[in-house]
């Protein structure tokens, strides 16, 4: 569809002259002659059929129409400049933007990015860690790695699903402090004494039922104290420090191998994991696609 707009060059000349209230300064800024400025302004006024400037011997002033047009052109040029900066690869300080929590970035993504960067040193990568915040928008990143429900059927716009069942872990020192040996846990219930006094560390209030879902003995409620720690890395360290049970996945294997945490129960809560997903509203450049496919191949 053809838009009934004046020539862009004329609008650029007008904005410069109107902002500075000087045809001479506009000519200097745009590297054209003062005559060319006058010509473009005159063409624009003829197109709009109204005066944009009041002219005197040494000064020009904006008319009401000129003031209105200046506000609109400045706002439009600012939005256009911002959009062009976002979509032009050469203007961005990075080639790929990934959304991932610090927990996922540290334990899963970073080692794989290191391998990719070794073969692709010219690709710069920026991590956006606010992936769980309310104002996070998937269209602001090339792709995100997010914790979510995994049902095995896949979802639209998900390139990969990594199933990671959940299970309780705690510090072995915590169990020793209440006189429980690991071998006795097979016949011990987390909801009965003395284990029912150990707090359950949780991500946030709305996810407290993950513990009940893992426990599975409906309608018997878990009466353990609940403690909310939003950050997964802090929650993991709190468990290592003996502050309570935390729900773990295989990304905590390092602490399990080191003996800082133990997973005494064999029961696992299925249906959760991580997914690589993107937005259909965002153009994904070649380097972002290359990295995403590399992560999928090395998952």
pLDDT (tens digit, 9 = 90+) per residue, 195-218? 889 999 998 755 558 898 999 876
Query: Who has greater pLDDT, 204 or 238?
Result: 238
* pLDDT for the residue numbered 86: 63
* pLDDT for the residue numbered 82: 67
Domain assignment present for residue 1? The answer is: no
> What's the total number of domains in the chain?
3
Same domain, 184 and 195: yes
Question: Domain boundary at 87, 115, 137, which?
Answer: 87
> What gap in Å lies between CA 10 and CA 31, rounded to an integer?
14
Alpha-carbon distance values, 136 to 78, 141, 278 (Å): 23, 9, 13
Q: Is the pLDDT of residue 92 over 60?
A: no
Same domain, 57 and 98: no
> What gap in Å lies between CA 155 and CA 174, rounded to an integer?
40
CATH of the domain at 17: 1.10.10.10
Q: Which among 75, 78, 8, 68 has a CA at the least distance from the CA of 43?
A: 8
For the sheet with 96-99, list strands across it. Answer: 125-128, 96-99, 143-149, 272-277, 158-163
- The domain of 105 spans 91-165+274-297
Same domain, 214 and 81: no
Same domain, 250 and 122: no
Arithmetic mean of pLDDT, 223-245: 93
* pLDDT for the residue numbered 89: 56
Q: Is the pLDDT of residue 183 over 50?
A: yes
Same domain, 24 and 105: no
* pLDDT for the residue numbered 206: 57
> Which helix (DSSP H) or strand (DSSP E) does residue 277 occupy?
strand 272-277
Same domain, 56 and 97: no
Same domain, 172 and 149: no
Same domain, 122 and 209: no
Q: Is the pLDDT of residue 1 over 50?
A: no
Arithmetic mean of pLDDT, 129-133: 80
Same domain, 13 and 156: no
CATH of the domain at 232: 3.40.190.10
* pLDDT for the residue numbered 134: 74
Percentage of the chain exceeding pLDDT 90 = 44
Which 3 state secondary structure label does DSSP give 247? Answer: strand
SS3 content of the chain, % helix, strand, coil (to 5): 45, 15, 35
Domain assignment present for residue 234? The answer is: yes
Same domain, 186 and 46: no
Same domain, 139 and 198: no
Same domain, 37 and 128: no
Query: Who has greater pLDDT, 94 or 154?
Result: 94
The pTM score is 0.65
> What gap in Å lies between CA 171 and CA 181, rounded to an integer?
12
Arithmetic mean of pLDDT, 188-195: 85
* pLDDT for the residue numbered 218: 65
């Amino acid at each position: 569809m053809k838009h009934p707009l004046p020539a862009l060059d004329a609008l650029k000349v007008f904005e410069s002259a109107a902002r500075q209230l000087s045809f001479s300064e506009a000519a200097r800024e745009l590297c054209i002659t003062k005559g060319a400025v006058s010509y473009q302004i005159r063409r624009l006024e003829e197109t709009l059929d109204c005066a944009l400037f009041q002219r005197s011997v040494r000064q020009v002033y904006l008319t009401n129409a000129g003031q209105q047009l200046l506000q609109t052109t400045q706002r439009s040029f600012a939005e256009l400049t911002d959009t062009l900066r976002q979509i032009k690869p050469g203007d961005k300080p990075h080639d790929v933007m990934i959304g991932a929590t610090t927990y996922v970035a540290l334990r899963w993504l970073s080692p794989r990015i290191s391998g990719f960067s070794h073969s692709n040193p010219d690709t710069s990568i920026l991590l956006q860690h606010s992936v769980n915040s309310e104002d996070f928008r998937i269209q602001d990143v090339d792709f995100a790695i997010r914790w979510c429900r995994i049902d095995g059927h896949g979802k639209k716009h998900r390139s990969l699903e990594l199933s990671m069942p959940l299970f309780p872990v705690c510090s072995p020192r915590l169990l020793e402090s209440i006189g429980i040996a690991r071998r006795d846990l097979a016949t011990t219930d987390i909801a009965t004494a003395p284990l029912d006094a150990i707090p359950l560390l949780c991500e946030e209030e709305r996810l407290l039922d993950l513990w009940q879902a893992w426990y599975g003995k409906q309608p018997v409620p878990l009466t353990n104290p609940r403690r909310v720690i939003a950050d997964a890395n802090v929650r993991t360290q709190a468990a290592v420090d003996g502050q309570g049970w935390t729900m773990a996945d295989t990304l905590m294997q390092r602490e399990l191998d080191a003996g800082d945490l133990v997973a005494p129960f064999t029961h696992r809560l299925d249906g959760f994991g991580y997914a690589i997903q993107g937005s259909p509203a965002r153009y994904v450049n070649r380097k972002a696609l290359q990295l995403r496919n590399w992560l999928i191949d090395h998952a």
